[in-house]
Structures are given as C-alpha cells and as structure tokens.
Amino acid sequence: MPEGPEIRIAADHLDRAVRTSVATEVFFAFPHLKPYESQLRGCRIAAVETRGKALLIRFDNELSIYSHNQLYGRWVIRKAYDYPATNRQLRLAIHNARRSALLYSASDIEVLDRGQLASHPFLSTLGPDVLSNGSERVLDQLRSKKHRRRRFSSLLLDQRFVAGIGNYLRSEILFVAGLHPWLRPMDCSTDELRVLADVAVAVAWQSYRHDGVTNDLEGSRILKAQGHTRNQYRHWVFGRGHQPCRRCGTSIVEDTAASRRIFFCPECQPGHG
C-alpha cells in the first residue's frame, strides 16, 4: 500500500498537472458520484493536499474529491485524453485543456463539502501528518497517556497516532532509531522518545525526497552503481529477512506484527532488560 511519501509524490504530480486549471470534464466510474460530474465541470482546482495516505483535490466551488488508494490505486498523468494501455479500471478522470489526471483501481473515492470534510470518519480521526508536522507533535503523541502502553509494532501503523506511516516506514524508522518493535513508549527514556520522533519525520522526508529510499543514501548509491536492484539497495531492513544487517552483520529477523510483516536487527535494536 502506498504510504505518506508516495501519496505526497502523487499529489505533487497532480498539483503540477491540474492545479489552478479549469476542469473541462470530470468522470466518475461509480454511479452514485455521477451527479457531481456536472457540478465540478468548469470549476477551477484550488489545491491538491494530502492527509496521511489520503489525497484531497479542492475545487473553487468548495467541493473536494477525497481518494484513498488503498492497495491498488494508482494516479497517472497524461496529455489530455491520452489514455494508457492498461488492464486497470479507470475510477476517476479530471481533464483540462492540456492534461488528464487519471486514477485507476482505487475503490475509496468521495465528493465532500466543507462540513463533510470536517466530520469525515477517516479524516477527522487522523493524527498529525508525518510530512506536515514537526517532530514535536510526534513526541507529544509518544508521551500521551493514550499511546504510551502500546507496542511500537502496532502503534506506528495506527493512523490516529501519526498519519502517513505504513509498513515499510515502520520497520525503517524503528531500525534507524535503534528501538525494538516490541517496546512501548513507557519503556523508553525521554531521550529515546525524542530520537524516535526526530527519526520518524526524517526517514519519511528522506523517502519522499529520494523516491522511497530509506537506506543510507551514500550506501544505496554505491550498491546501485555495483548493479544491485532497487529492492536490494532501497531499505535498511524492510524486505531483507535473514540477510545480514548493513551495520553489524547480524541476520535480520522477519516476523509478523499487527498482521503485517516486520523486520528488525536484534543486535542494533535490543529490547530493554
């Protein structure tokens, strides 16, 4: 599933393609959204925003298109009406005089007015966005009574805690912070929590700026130059079960937490006690 950095990158592409332009045509595949096609046609796109893993396209008539890519959704930007050859199903299309923004395979699409945005059952429960809020907000969440007894392995996937962190970021953040996945905020010192908050923001921003690479940038550059594939140089630990840790050589552990794969180094991320 695309995580916060990937959705922010998609939003950047959308912003360049459609923001400030007039939508000459809007297409929805879902019958219940068809009435909005005429309401959005001829409107100008005022902003393209992200909220964690969700994306909002705001129009100047105060309606917004909300979308969540879930596992399979994918945005494609093309010349106007230049549809790609694909077996994916087109769910949403926004056309202007020069470009078409096409959303394929996503099933979670809504049109919301200002009041519905404020009360939306997903958006209204999100924690601070890892790419939009500083580490102090993350630290506040880690210190809160609401979250302090939860293991990091499940806490970091909870969008009510911090929005935009998903499965690969969870493993990478905990590795860089040097914290075992089974630890809880209450098990950690103030300094450890501050490091974790700083790392969460830094790793997410690195992923956004460097096309999903969370590994040491110089190390990944060297591996790439040596002919390694993207999957081989992209991450510190995620997807590298039973391979040697890049720092200490210990075999990376692959386990399951919150029904998702998690990876960690037992040497670099020791549990307390």
**Active site residue ranges:** 2-3, 53, 260
d(CA 47, CA 161): 26
Q: Is the torsion defined by CA of 113, 119, 125, 127 positive or negative? A: positive
Amino acid identity for residue 165 in this structure: I
The SS3 call for residue 269 is coil
**Which residues lie below 8 Å from residue 81, measured CB to CB, with a gap of 6+?**
95, 100
Both structure tokens of 59: 């129009």
Both structure tokens of 146: 């609401």
CB atoms within 10 A of CB 63: 18
3-state class percentages of the chain: helix first, strand second, coil last, to nearest 5:
35, 20, 45
Q: Is the torsion defined by CA of 157, 159, 161, 165 positive or negative? A: positive
Round to the nearest angstrom and report the end-to-end CA distance of the chain: 35
DSSP label at residue 52? T
